[in-house]
Chains A and B, each alone.
Chain A
Amino acid sequence: MELLMAVAVGILFTIGIYLILSKSLLRIVLGTSLLTHGVHLLLLTMAGLKRGAAPVLGGTADTYVDPLPQALILTSIVISFGVTAFFFVLAYRSYQTLGTDEIDSIKEEKE
């Protein structure tokens, strides 16, 4: 199971980095969000995917899954959500002010 997840994470990272290296700002934002998806799955996977009950006390299970990485992922998700929201608005604002979505043409313009 971990192997399968590792491959999935690898694919997410590959696509994310490919998108980040592209020209359009919107694709770059999408790339970063795929990258964060990948890293959250990585966090889940690296803690081990052993079988156990959901980490909620009150059941009668003998084993539970590790609760720590879930807390870390939850923290990381909201952080990257905030940053992505900011990035989207920034891209929108750049498009309004600079009038282009292409990274190359943003660069060439001289102040």
Chain B
Amino acid sequence: MSNLLVLPVLIPLATAVILIFFKEKIRLQRGISTASGLLNLFISVFLVQRVHSDGIQTLQMGGWAPPYGIVFVGDMFAVLLVMMASLVSFAILLYSFSSIGAERERFYYYSFFHFLLVGVYGSFLTGDIFNLFVFFEVMLISSYALISLGGTRLQLRETSKYLLINIVSSTLFVAAVAYLYAAVGTLNMAHLSLRIAEAGQNGVLNVIAILFLIVFSLKAGLFLFFWLPGSYSAPPSAVRALFGALLTKVGLYAIIRTFTLLFVNDPGFTGDWIAWMAAATMILGGIGAVAYKDIPRILNYNVIISVGFVAFGLAAGTADSLNGAVFYLLHDMLAKALMFILGGMIITAAGTDRLAGMGGMIRRYPLLGWMFFILALALVGIPPLSGFAGKLLIIRGALDAGMLMLSLIALGSSFLVLYSLIKVFRLAFWGDDPEIVVPKARAGMKGTSAVAAVLLLLVIMMGLKSEAVYTYVSQAGEVLATPALYIESVMKE
């Protein structure tokens, strides 16, 4: 039954391959995609329960014991992220039905969608650093296809930049793997952790650690986020939701995994780097979020701020702040997916993405308006909602570690998040109707509202039931704080 661990990767892979054969049958494509999404959701929930009761699950591919074969490791952190990813991807799938358009659907949209999920789930579950690279590439190549699918002028322009950045960072990833292999001679993460500890992390291993930090920061948008606001503005809002909710989070997962499992022996050195990069990310992201007046850019800069926030939790490195980082990451996947879906609905309803052309929408779309308002409060971290517990834990852990300055920056960035989202709310929903003629919103708004409402309900429940979520989150944080648990379960023989 330990084969269960590979199913989150196998099911979307099989789905994507099957979907290739039904190019013209859009209804069938939707049906298969929905079934596969639901199945994955059930399996991932089951996996979380399994890991909760039985501890870390491992699966040796082909029966080769680590470090010789590839191993899949489902610790609490990984399976929680898989569960949240399958939840938000299912919601985004349903949102795609009404928003993506038949032309894109006919050209393998759902295949690319599922291939992207293969890459995301695989990156979360793998226990091998080169296999992580391969799953990153699976994810990235699907994202190239999704970002350019449709071929508008804006998309073509932004895809070449996105592609170039990711080719360079993937090249650096291979170089970093090469250096690491030369330094310690293994690729399995648990085994790497042991070898790095034996070698005593200094000099060359610290350099390799920073190289990995640069690589994953390029993927996650941690300080090296210059490519993100432009690239994420190009695709349709369903794809944007998928990217904003999942892609940067995979980079963050890789950073957290690398610096809690592999390079843990010189925390002063690597921690400082991450802390300052996180601070710069929060400040620059905050400046970007308040500077712009079009919805895609404001939302994109909000993605960047939260990346900085999670990295700050990692940099503080106390048990509390690691728990907080896990909690906040889960909340953020959910809330960012909802944020982009609502943002997409606002753009559809208003017929423009510029705030200057909007106004008075609360009269026509009261439900949409108040959902966006509650979500804005959740993203800032107002107590009964889901963003609060994570932020509280991160700040408390950071204060224990004596990082007063950075905590103030983190709290300050929350105000900028609040300001930027309320600016969207105020300009889009209050005031008078714009003078230009607003096109009638297309059909399908009702179905999308239902999806958004369910997600919003989850955001609220996650806040109200923080205590219940925390029992799972603390189990994930425990493994992050004590890498020995991870290593023992992988290298048991």
Q: Do A and B bind each other?
A: yes
Which of B163, B168, B187 counts the most chain A CB atoms within 10 A?
B163
Q: In the complex, A43→B171 CA distance in Å?
A: 11
Q: Enumerate 10 A-B pairs (CB-CB under 8 Å) in ascending A order.
A: A35-B171, A43-B174, A47-B181, A68-B187, A69-B181, A80-B171, A94-B160, A97-B151, A97-B156, A109-B157
Instruction: Decide if B141 touches A86 in the complex (CB within 8 Å).
Output: yes
CB contacts (< 8 Å) of B167 on chain A: these are 32, 35-36, 80, 83, 87
If A36-B171, A83-B163, A87-B163 touch, whether A94 touches B182 (CB-CB below 8 Å) is no
**Interface size bracket, A side:** 35 or more
| Residues on the A chain within 8 Å of B156, using CB | 90, 93-94, 97-98
**How far is it, in angstroms, between the C-alpha of A87 and the C-alpha of B160 when the chains are bound?**
7
The verdict on A60 contacting chain B, using a C-beta distance below 8 Å, is no
**What CA separation (Å) do A25 and B159 show in the bound complex?**
12
In whole Å, how far is A100's beta carbon from the nearest beta carbon of chain B?
10
B171 contacts A39, CB within 8 Å? yes
- Among B132-164, those with CB < 8 Å from A are 133-134, 137, 141, 144-145, 148, 151, 153-154, 156-157, 159-160, 163-164
Contact, CB under 8 Å: A91 / B174: no
Would B159 and A28 count as touching, CB distance under 8 A?
A: no
A4 to B179, CA, bound (A): 17
Nearest neighbor of A35 in chain B, beta-carbon distance: B171
CA–CA, A45 to B170, complex, Å?
18
Asked if A46 is at the interface of the complex by the 8 Å CB criterion, the answer is yes
Q: Is B130 an interface residue (CB 8 A)?
A: yes
**Given A42-B178, A46-B182, A72-B130, CB of A106 within 8 Å of CB of B163:** no
Contacts of A69 in B (CB 8 A): 178, 181
Is the C-beta of B408 less than 8 angstroms from some C-beta in chain A?
Answer: no
CB distance from B219 to the nearest CB of A (A): 15
Enumerate chain A residues within 8 angstroms of B179, measured Cβ to Cβ.
46
Tell me which residues across on chain A come within 8 A of B141, comparing CB atoms. 79, 82-83, 86
Chain A residues within 8 Å of B, Cβ to Cβ? 20, 25, 28, 32, 35-36, 38-40, 42-43, 45-48, 68-69, 72, 75-76, 79-80, 82-83, 86-87, 90-91, 93-94, 97-98, 106-107, 109, 111
Q: Residue of B at shortest CB range from A33?
A: B167
Interface string of B78-115 (1 = CB under 8 A from A): 00000000000000000000000000000000000000
Instruction: Please tell me if the beta carbons of B174 and A86 are within 8 angstroms of each other in the complex.
Output: no
- From A79, A87, A97, contact of B134 by CB (8 A): A79
Known: A69-B181, A97-B156, A98-B156. A86 touches B171 (CB 8 A): no
Are A86's CB and B168's CB within 8 A? no
* 8 A Cβ contacts from B56-90 to A: none
Kindly identify, within residues 183 to 197 of chain B, every residue whose CB is under 8 Å from any CB belonging to chain A.
Answer: 187
Of B134, B157, B174, B187, the contact of A94 (CB 8 Å cutoff): B157
**Which A residue's beta carbon lies closest to that of B164?**
A28
Of residues 272 through 314 on chain B, the ones whose CB sits less than 8 Å from some CB of chain A are: none
Q: Are A90 and B182 in contact (CB under 8 A)?
A: no
Q: Which residue of B lies closest to A84 (CB)?
A: B167
Q: Say whether A39 contacts B163, CB under 8 Å.
A: no
Cross-chain contact of B160 among A45, A47, A91 (Cβ < 8 A) = A91
Which B residue sits closest to A111, measured CB to CB? B154
Complex: A93 Cα to B156 Cα, angstroms: 8
A106 to B444, CA, bound (A): 35
Known: A36-B171, A93-B151, A94-B156. A86 touches B178 (CB 8 A): no
Closest-by-CB residue of A relative to B173 is: A39
Given A47-B181, A90-B159, A98-B153; A76-B174 close (CB under 8 Å)? yes
- With a cutoff of 8 Å between Cβ atoms, the chain B residues found around residue A35 in the complex are 167-168, 171
B7 at the interface (CB under 8 A from A): no
Let me know if B175 and A39 touch, CB within 8 A. Answer: yes
Contact A97 B168 (CB under 8 A): no
- A-B pairs, 10 with minimum CB distance: A46-B182, A46-B178, A43-B178, A32-B167, A39-B174, A94-B156, A39-B171, A79-B137, A42-B178, A35-B171
For A25, list chain B residues within 8 Å (CB): 160
Shortest beta-carbon distance, A38 to chain B, in Å?
8
Would you call B177 an interface residue if the criterion is a C-beta within 8 Å of the partner chain's C-beta atoms?
yes
Residue of B nearest to A72 (CB): B130
A82 to B130, CA, bound (A): 18
Q: A28-B160, A76-B133 are in contact. List 13 more A-B contacts (CB 8 A).
A: A35-B167, A35-B171, A43-B174, A43-B178, A72-B174, A80-B170, A83-B137, A83-B141, A90-B160, A97-B156, A98-B153, A106-B157, A109-B153
Chain B residues with CB under 8 Å of A42's CB are: 174-175, 178
Is the pair B134, A86 in contact by a Cβ cutoff of 8 Å?
Answer: no
A87 CA to B437 CA, complexed, in Å: 40
Looking at B141, B145, B160, B178, the one whose CB has the most chain A CB atoms below 10 A away is: B178
Q: Which chain B positions have C-beta within 8 A of A40?
A: 174
Which chain B positions have C-beta within 8 A of A75? 130, 134
Instruction: Find chain B residues with CB under 8 A from A87 CB.
Output: 160, 163-164, 167
How long is the Cα–Cα vector from A7 to B204 in the complex, in angstroms?
19
A62 to chain B, nearest CB (A): 20
- B177 close to A72 (CB less than 8 A): yes
Q: Given A32-B168, A86-B141, does the pair A111, B178 have CB atoms closer than 8 Å?
A: no
B131 (CB) vs chain A CBs: closest residue:
A75
